Amino acid sequence: MKKILIVLAMIAASVFLAQPAVADEGDAPAEAAVETTTDTTTETAPDTSEPEQQAPAETPPPAAESEPEPVVNEEPAPPARDVNKPAPKPDESTSGNAPNDDVESGAAVAAAVDLDTKVTICHVPPGNPANAHAISVSYNSIVKGEGHGKNNGAHSADWIPSFEYLVGDQVVVYPGRNINEANPCDDEEPLIEVGTEDPTLAGPTCLADGKVNLPDTEGVIYTITPANAPGDVDVDATADEGYIIDDQATIHWDFTVLPKLAGDDPQCVITDDEKKVVVCKFTGPPPGVFDHIIIVNESALGEGFEGDFPYPFGDAQDSIAIRYAKDGEQAKDVPIAECLPEVEPTEITAEAPIADPATCDEDGSLVLPETDHVTYTTEPVFDGPGKYTITASVTDEEFVLTGKTVFKVTVGGKLPTADCVTPAKEDDLLPDTGGVPLWILLLAGPMTAAGLIILMRREPVSHASTSGRMPSYSLILPPVKKPAGITRVHATTEHLGFMKAVSQVVAAIGSFFRGGRR
């Protein structure tokens, strides 16, 4: 019985000793043991001693003026962890090695941000946490350590999220800043942070006072106090709505604006015995922006001037002397176009004017085309039918005419009456005047003549025809009974001639109807 109790006690002790140890809160985590193998086959006794506890590595304090170097991973990087929490134990299935999964690698690449886009951070002004505000800055400025990416006193309290980005094919992790703490800005709508540009001071001229040239910066409003005039002036920059100016940017400038040059200034003195030059006075920023024209003595160009134009005037705004001034010419007489960049004129073609033809009711007219940037001059002034000369010219100096520019046009007068009578058509019939139709006249004449011959020859007639030895035949018509008391009248020679002519006409008509046979 005693032996049985001893065995049970040993079993209970083994079970108790096999339970895992529970570390007290705050104890340093033990390093995971790495199991190794060797080529030897010699069995060794199991080591029953307690594993040696390794002290946790000390975390070096962050440098005051430098940002931690980004971690470059050949494989997808794990998410940033809280340095105050113990490191997780490696997965036993990988023996402590980092995972190497193509799917996870592709997901990490897909999650990498575009450095040209914006990231929302929370800027906490030093010593003024109550004025924390969300701003939108570029990922690139954070990665390069510019602006809020600097780990200096002005930005050390900023809250910047962790993110991943690509460098070539490698995924790089930006660890973030102050992400162990809550975001002081919560979900506040971010403002766009902008910088400022420095205004510039333009010096005075012979004709104008100096002035302050204000830059044109997106999201920034520049104000001059008291005015842009000679004297001491202040320039202040403020943010437009939806923007915020970087608290490291300059927002105030002081200038002293000078009045225009005195009349006895060498640049402004014009003597009768010295040549004058025309100067195109420029301003900035940037230099080279045309402002006005001045005329100065040739000596103002300095000893290096040898009479060749254009020539640098020698001021900070890159003003240029373009030519000698004409006798008595003043600055206001010089066309501004002489100081502007030469622009090649655009070629256009003038359309030709035409004359509308005259009609039976109205004179012809002159029609001038409507061509963009072209005007037409008529000589003499149009006053009805006649000959005219029309000249085309451009309305703007940016254009030039090509081709014909002078046109000769003749405008006709109203058509004469004779040209306005409408001629009869070819198939139209002549008007009916009540006369006898022509075909009746053609038949009446021959028929009348035939009737006369028949009446006059109603008496015995013999007609003989001989041909060689052929016999003769005669045709005798019975006499026509004549009424009593009627005396035959014999025709005279003249009557016989007329009747002979009529008989020939009748014979011809008969021959026509018989097909030409007699």
194-238 pLDDT, tens digit each: 889 999 998 888 778 889 999 999 899 999 999 999 999 999 999
CB-CB neighbours of 465 under 10 Å: 9
Residues 376 and 314 placed together within one structural domain of the fold: no
Residues 371 and 283 placed together within one structural domain of the fold: no
- 51 lies in some domain: no
Give residue 2's pLDDT band: very low, low, confident or very high (50, 70, 90): low
Q: Would you give the DSSP letter of residue 155?
A: T
* In the predicted structure, residue 313 carries a pLDDT above the cut 80: yes
State residue 94 phi and psi, 5-degree precision.
Answer: -110, 5
What's residue 244's pLDDT?
Answer: 86
What lies within 8 Å, CB to CB, of 457 at 6+ separation is none
- 213 lies in some domain: yes
* In the predicted structure, residue 338 carries a pLDDT above the cut 50: yes
SS3 61: coil
Answer yes or no: are the C-beta atoms of 267 and 315 closer than 8 Å.
no
Residues 162 and 87 placed together within one structural domain of the fold: yes
- 44 lies in some domain: no
Residues 180 and 201 placed together within one structural domain of the fold: no
Domain boundary residue, one of 169, 189, 209: 189
| Averaged confidence pLDDT in the chain | 73
User: For the ranges 25-39, 441-455, 468-482, which has the lowest average pLDDT?
Assistant: 25-39
Residues 178 and 117 placed together within one structural domain of the fold: yes
What lies within 8 Å, CB to CB, of 158 at 6+ separation is 121, 122, 123, 124, 148, 177, 178
SS3 347: strand
SS3 119: strand
Tokens coding 112: 């990498």
Distance of CA 76 to the CA centre of its chain: 46
Beta-bridge partners for 164:
173
Beta-bridge partners for 387:
410
Give residue 351's pLDDT band: very low, low, confident or very high (50, 70, 90): very high
Distance of CA 146 to the CA centre of its chain: 37
Beta-bridge partners for 232:
256
Tokens coding 323: 């030519």
Domain boundary residue, one of 320, 339, 358: 339
Q: Which residue has the tokens 């073609």?
A: 349
Packing angle, helices 493-513 and 438-456, rounded to 10: 120
Q: Which of 205, 245, 248, 212 is nearest to 228 (CA)?
A: 212
Work out the average pLDDT over 67-82.
46
Q: Which residue has the tokens 């940017």?
A: 249
Residue 167 host element (H or E): strand 163-167
Q: CA dist 480 to 15, 457, 458, 503, Å?
A: 185, 10, 6, 21
What's residue 107's pLDDT?
Answer: 59
Q: Which of 473, 450, 452 is nearest to 462 (CA)?
A: 473
Looking at per-residue pLDDT, the higher value among 118 and 347 belongs to 347
* In the predicted structure, residue 352 carries a pLDDT above the cut 90: yes
- 106 lies in some domain: yes
Query: 369: domain range?
Result: 346-417
Looking at per-residue pLDDT, the higher value among 42 and 518 belongs to 518
What's residue 235's pLDDT?
Answer: 95
Residues 159 and 205 placed together within one structural domain of the fold: no
SS (H, E, C) 315-375: CCCCCEEEEECCCCCCHHHCCHHHHCCCCCCEEEECCCCEEECCCCCCCCEEECCCCCCEE
Considering 1-5, 127-131, 460-464, the range whose residues carry the highest mean pLDDT is 127-131
- Cβ-based burial of 286 (10 A; exposed 0-12, middle 13-18, buried ≥19): exposed
Residues 128 and 183 placed together within one structural domain of the fold: yes
Q: Look up residue 490 and give its amino acid.
A: H
Report the sign of the C-alpha dihedral through residues 244, 248, 249, 253, in that order.
Answer: positive
CA–CA separation, 244 and 233 (whole Å): 24
Phi-psi category of 268—alpha, beta or left, where left has phi over 0 and alpha has psi -120 to 50? alpha
Q: What is the longest distance spanned by two Cα atoms in the chain?
A: 212
Which strands, in side-by-side order, build the sheet including 170-174? 71-73, 170-174, 163-167
Residues 210 and 240 placed together within one structural domain of the fold: yes
- 518 lies in some domain: no
- 13 lies in some domain: no
Give residue 460's pLDDT band: very low, low, confident or very high (50, 70, 90): low
* In the predicted structure, residue 69 carries a pLDDT above the cut 90: no
Residues 102 and 179 placed together within one structural domain of the fold: yes
Q: Would you give the DSSP letter of residue 304?
A: T
CA–CA separation, 475 and 464 (whole Å): 8
Tokens coding 181: 């703490």
Work out the average pLDDT over 345-352.
90
What lies within 8 Å, CB to CB, of 53 at 6+ separation is 28, 30
Answer yes or no: are the C-beta atoms of 203 and 282 closer than 8 Å.
no
Q: Which of 466, 486, 484 is nearest to 474 (CA)?
A: 466
Residue 17 host element (H or E): helix 2-17
CA–CA separation, 59 and 41 (whole Å): 42
CA–CA separation, 365 and 356 (whole Å): 5
What's residue 48's pLDDT?
Answer: 45
- 175 lies in some domain: yes
Answer yes or no: are the C-beta atoms of 265 and 208 closer than 8 Å.
no
Q: Would you give the DSSP letter of residue 214?
A: P
SS3 255: strand
Answer yes or no: are the C-beta atoms of 180 and 84 closer than 8 Å.
yes
Residue 339 host element (H or E): none
CA 192-197-202 angle, to 5 degrees, is 150
Q: Which of 223, 224, 218 is nearest to 243 (CA)?
A: 218
Confirm whether pTM is higher than 0.85: no
- 223 lies in some domain: yes
Looking at per-residue pLDDT, the higher value among 223 and 102 belongs to 223
Residue range 396-447, pLDDT digits in tens: 878 999 999 999 999 988 888 887 877 666 666 666 666 666 677 677 777 7
Residues 144 and 165 placed together within one structural domain of the fold: yes
- Our count of domains for the chain comes to 4
Residues 198 and 233 placed together within one structural domain of the fold: yes
What lies within 8 Å, CB to CB, of 83 at 6+ separation is 59, 180
Residues 304 and 370 placed together within one structural domain of the fold: no
CA–CA separation, 86 and 28 (whole Å): 8
Looking at per-residue pLDDT, the higher value among 235 and 282 belongs to 235
Domain boundary residue, one of 292, 323, 339: 339
